[in-house]
């Protein structure tokens, strides 16, 4: 694989983009601090660079698409003229044993093998998942694949702006305008398809599935349902329809992001994945130092978030405090509106 115009021809798209989780001015919620990111194009891949002191680069499709020629990519990044201290990429299935000589750590994915929908429905999931998916149908939820257009983007935007907090933390998409939501949802359209959950013709949940280059592996890039309609179990129905759509396309694996995150203890999302048939698969994640700072930072473990370097018990207590604070904060928001 060769980069366009050689590995040294890497263009910078923009200089710095500011990401803000904006809030509506009438609501009593503080704005998050902006996060700095930079995106460059290398070897037909967009590379996202994050961090101020330690600048880490990864493909925009990291976890969704393979880096097929990492040596070429690394050489291009070394000579691009934009500082990247550490480049990371995930080795995707079917190969789970390390195939490159770069420094690596084990990462993981939540994966459900797909052959037929009936096999998944009858053999791979727990009764709880079946009951919840049936509940959605009984309560009038309709599932169907939908094209990405202005109507879908508006429905996604409305779900994003339902609440500033989800799962005990600030929700990063809350407060974004419709134009931003459209642009962020329109990535990887050539390799993606959308499924909507509708109640009385209103979108109450959606999933975006993105396939890899082989078209045998689909990732749940985004799945979200309206809090107001949780009693109808739309998320369970979306998972079931995702498996059906994958089986119809001959897609052999459905991936739901990671199974476990750092030192985070088992929670409701992990249980949700388990009852729906997802299992943990360990995969090599490579970290390639580009600069001396990147090499030192990797050896010291500074490439991991601070929360992952805190003892597990202490991290759990901090998460409980955060959840409690956000719960009280969310109640204040609801009262003020």
Whether the pLDDT of residue 144 is over 50: the answer is yes
Average confidence (pLDDT) over 65-90:
92
pLDDT (tens digit per residue) in 23-51: 333 333 333 434 557 888 887 889 999 99
Q: How many CB atoms lie within 10 A of CB 271?
A: 12
* 235 and 197 housed in the same domain: yes
251, 273, 307 — which closes off a domain? 251
Is the separation of the CB atoms in 291 and 53 below 8 Å? no
235, 251, 267 — which closes off a domain? 251
Which is higher by pLDDT, 114 or 52? Answer: 114
What does the pLDDT read at residue 25? 33
DSSP letter at 131? H
Q: Is 258 part of a structural domain of the chain? A: no
Report d(CA 185, CA 197) in Å as an integer. 17
* 90 and 156 housed in the same domain: no
Is the separation of the CB atoms in 197 and 237 below 8 Å? yes
Report d(CA 249, CA 329) in Å as an integer. 44
Q: How many CB atoms lie within 10 A of CB 88?
A: 21
Whether the pLDDT of residue 10 is over 60: the answer is no
Q: Is 259 part of a structural domain of the chain? A: no
Report d(CA 155, CA 181) in Å as an integer. 10
* 80 and 122 housed in the same domain: no
What does the pLDDT read at residue 29? 38
Of 75-84, 282-291, 300-309, highest mean pLDDT: 282-291
What does the pLDDT read at residue 37? 74
228, 251, 274 — which closes off a domain? 251
Within its chain, how far is the Cα of 310 from the centroid?
23
Q: Please report, for residues 149, 181, 190, 214, the alpha-carbon distance to residue 177 in angstroms, rounded to integers and kept in the order given.
A: 16, 6, 24, 34
Q: How far apart are the first and last CA of the chain?
A: 55
* 153 and 179 housed in the same domain: yes
Write out the residue range of the structural domain in which residue 86 sits. Answer: 11-107+284-336
* 120 and 102 housed in the same domain: no
Residue 51 CB contacts under 8 Å (≥ 6 apart), including other chains: 36, 85
Rg of the chain in Å (alpha carbons): 21
Is the separation of the CB atoms in 55 and 83 below 8 Å? yes
Average confidence (pLDDT) over 304-317:
68
Whether the pLDDT of residue 6 is over 60: the answer is no
Q: Is 242 helix (H, G, I), strand (E, B) or coil?
A: helix
* 176 and 100 housed in the same domain: no
Q: Please report, for residues 8, 100, 205, 245, 261, the alpha-carbon distance to residue 84 in angstroms, rounded to integers and kept in the order given.
A: 14, 20, 37, 39, 24
Task: Give exposure, 3-36, as e/b (b: 16+ Cβ within 10 Å).
Answer: beeebeebeeeeeeeeeebebeeeeebeeeeeee
* 94 and 122 housed in the same domain: no
Q: Which residue has the tokens 């997802």?
A: 278
pLDDT band at 309 (very low <50, low <70, confident <90, very high): low
* 103 and 125 housed in the same domain: no
Q: Where are the alpha helices (DSSP H) in 214-291?
A: 234-249, 268-275
Report which of 192, 183, 191 is spatially closest to residue 156, judged by C-alpha positions.
Answer: 183
Report which of 286, 297, 267, 278 is spatially closest to residue 63, judged by C-alpha positions.
Answer: 286
| Structural domain total, the chain | 2
pLDDT (tens digit per residue) in 197-210: 999 999 999 999 99
* 18 and 89 housed in the same domain: yes
DSSP letter at 62? B
What does the pLDDT read at residue 314? 66
Strands 56-59 and 45-50: antiparallel
């Amino acid at each position: 694989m060769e980069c366009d115009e050689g590995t040294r021809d890497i263009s910078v798209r923009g200089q710095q983009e500011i990401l803000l989780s904006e809030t509506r001015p009438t609501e009593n919620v503080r704005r998050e601090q902006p996060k700095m990111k930079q995106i460059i194009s290398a070897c037909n891949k967009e590379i996202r660079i994050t961090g101020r002191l330690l600048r880490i680069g990864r493909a925009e499709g990291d976890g969704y698409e393979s880096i097929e020629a990492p040596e070429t990519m690394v050489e291009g990044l070394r000579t691009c003229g934009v500082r990247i201290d550490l480049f990371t990429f995930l080795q995707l299935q079917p190969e789970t044993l390390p195939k490159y000589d770069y420094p690596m750590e084990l990462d993981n994915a939540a994966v459900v093998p797909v052959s037929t929908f009936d096999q998944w429905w009858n053999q791979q999931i727990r009764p709880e998942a079946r009951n919840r998916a049936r509940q959605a149908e009984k309560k009038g939820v309709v599932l169907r694949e939908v094209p990405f257009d202005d109507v879908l983007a508006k429905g996604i935007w409305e779900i994003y702006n339902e609440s500033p907090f989800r799962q005990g933390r600030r929700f990063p998409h809350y407060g974004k305008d419709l134009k931003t939501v459209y642009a962020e949802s329109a990535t990887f359209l050539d390799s993606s398809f959308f499924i909507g959950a509708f109640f009385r013709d209103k979108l109450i949940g959606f999933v975006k599935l993105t396939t890899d280059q082989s078209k045998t592996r689909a990732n749940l890039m985004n799945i979200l349902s309206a809090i107001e309609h949780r009693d109808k179990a739309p998320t369970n129905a979306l998972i079931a329809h995702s498996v059906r759509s994958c089986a119809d396309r001959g897609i052999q694996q459905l991936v739901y992001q990671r199974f476990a995150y750092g030192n985070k203890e088992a929670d409701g999302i992990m249980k949700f994945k388990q009852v729906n048939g997802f299992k943990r698969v360990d995969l090599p994640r490579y970290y390639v130092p580009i600069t001396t700072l990147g090499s030192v930072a990797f050896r010291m473990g500074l490439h991991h978030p601070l929360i992952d370097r805190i003892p597990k018990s202490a991290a759990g207590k901090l998460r409980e405090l955060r959840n409690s604070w956000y719960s009280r904060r969310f109640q204040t928001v609801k009262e003020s509106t």
